[in-house]
Amino acid sequence: MSKITVVVCDHIHQSGLDLLENDEQIELINAADEPKDKLISEIIPNADIAITRSSTDVDEKFLENSDNIKAIVRAGVGVDNVDMDGCSKRGIIVMNVPTANTIAAVELTMTHLLSCVRKFPYAHNNLKLDRVWRRQDWYGTELKDKKIGIIGFGNIGSRVGTRAKAFEMDVLAYDPYVNASKALNLDIKYTQNFEDILNCDIITIHTPKNKETVGMIGKDEIAKMKDGVILINCARGGLYDEDALLEGLENGKIAMAGIDVFNEEPATSHPFLDLDNVTLTPHLGANTKESQRNIALQASQQAIDAAKGISYPNALNLPIKENELPDFVRPFLELVQKMGHLSAQITKSAISSITIITKGDIGEYISSMGTFATVGVLTESIGNQINYVNAEFVAKERNINVITEVKANDTGFTNKVTIKLTTQHGVISISGTVFDGNKQRIIKIDDYHLDIEPKGNMIFFRNTDTRGVIGEVGKTIADHDLNIADFRLGRDDKSQALAVVVVDGDISKSLMTKLASMEECISVSYANL
């Protein structure tokens, strides 16, 4: 019986290598020290399974040499360096290791928190490096009775919360995508008002990095904070606007900051390095012996399971080869996932149910439709921790009811699919179809009939149907240096209208605030697909 070849492209803990080497059905090639050009051109063509980390890009060149690969394991959480679409088209399953470094990230957050309040690194350097004994220079503050605001209450944020409770802190959680009960069951306060977080003594952030969270703490938010606030970021670079953070640290508005992640890494010449009120580490969130061992063991076991066809744990994509499905199905799967993601971005609220309704022959694939829709919905709140394998489990874990319905086709379309998202703030319904084999279109949002491609930076402006609104919306967008790429309008029978505006460029908070202030505005939201 021929062995299955597993190539380890980057360095992992020896425990993972041992696990692979001791399996009689696996031929291990440890190529971590090989030049990348040799790895890709000479070693990858012989691989059945590949284990990668951040040092190896799974890009077009890599995939061109991956004819024999059936699965890739990313030994870590992030998959920014993996061409997911390219892998899917080639039938390659991509897996990650999303939870192995959870405790390491939690404890690093607490390390920065304690270092900031007691100025530990500076007192240490003053004594050890400068040989100066000046106790009076290093008065800190206590965590007890301080209010800490936690942005993002998932695996890491919730654990930071329980540890903060142990320090007798007043803990406040903010996460619009989780039910308040998750915090309340831990005896932690919960808020839906972001302004409450800005009023805390200490703020720490634990969210995925996406268009909603990048720069979510900027100059305006910092201005609303208490003087002497402490900010912590051990999650993703860019969640705090670095220029605004630098200004706040320099003028004293921010007393201390603890930073492990940066916009651009390595950050060896970052201006933060010149400040004496910030504790800095070089992206050490996963850097514990236990974490690295866990990552290596989990990644290697996933590689073995995939090699033997046993299972594909934490699969992030669903490989679909063109000849395995009718031609008309794949665009609908992509469409329903986009519609799910769109509905979650518009509502930005805790979800109680996801309903998928099909009409037409596409109903034969309702189960897949449900999976793709659920992945799309949950991607907004938990990022790459959601995948096609665990979508149903994660939905149940969050008490989200996924409902699928196949109905008779009473429409004028060959096939039609609808998503209804029920949240704590109401229900949103989005319908779509596919024209000419692959042209995906959204044809209805709630009671508004439209025809728009689900793509790009999209503003959803609901207003009273009065004269001059379209012109004012267009002018407001132009005043914010954005070009309108598409503008579609739908009207209902209640004298209301919905404008969907696609713009070239990023949608700013100031633009959304300006649109919301218009007298005719009922609601305004935005999304990116």
| Helix or strand holding residue 284 (H, E) | none
Phi, psi of 185 (to 5 degrees): -65, -20
Question: Which is catalytic among the residues 283, 398, 441, 480?
Answer: 283
Q: What is the largest CA-CA distance in the chain?
A: 83
Q: Which residues are 4's β-sheet partners?
A: 26
Based on the residue annotation, tell me whether 195 is a catalytic residue of this protein. Answer: no
Beta-carbon count within 10 A of 124 CB: 12
Structure tokens at 434: 């596919």
Q: How far is CA 276 from the centre of its chain?
A: 32
Residue with tokens 């380890």: 8
Rounded to whole angstroms, how far apart are CA atoms 472 and 463? 12
Question: Which is catalytic among the residues 53, 74, 112, 236?
Answer: 236
Q: For residue 20, which of 51, 44, 53, 46 has the smallest C-alpha distance? A: 51
Residue with tokens 């503050």: 141
Based on the residue annotation, tell me whether 462 is a catalytic residue of this protein. Answer: no
Q: Is the torsion defined by CA of 64, 65, 68, 70 positive or negative?
A: negative
Per-residue DSSP letter, 441: E
| Helix or strand holding residue 347 (H, E) | helix 329-347
Residue with tokens 């004028």: 412
Question: Which is catalytic among the residues 265, 290, 324, 364?
Answer: 265
Structure tokens at 317: 């994509």
Phi, psi of 274 (to 5 degrees): -90, -5
Structure tokens at 506: 């990023």
Rounded to whole angstroms, how far apart are CA atoms 357 and 405? 5
Q: Which residues are 487's β-sheet partners?
A: 501
Based on the residue annotation, tell me whether 118 is a catalytic residue of this protein. Answer: no
Q: Is the torsion defined by CA of 445, 450, 451, 455 positive or negative?
A: negative
Counting Cβ atoms within 10 Å, is residue 506 exposed (0-12), middle (13-18) or buried (19+)?
middle
For residues 171-180, one letter each, b for 16 or more C-beta atoms within 10 angstroms of the residue's C-beta and e for the rest, the string is bbbbbbbbbb
HSE of 495, CA atoms in CB hemisphere, 13 A: 4
Contact of 8 with 30, CB cutoff 8 Å: yes
Contact of 302 with 93, CB cutoff 8 Å: no
Strands (E), 399-495: 401-407, 416-423, 426-435, 439-445, 448-452, 457-464, 483-491
Instruction: Show Cβ contacts of residue 489 under 8 Å, excluding neighbours closer than 6 positions.
Output: 450, 470, 497, 498, 499, 500
* Catalytic machinery residues: 236, 265, 283
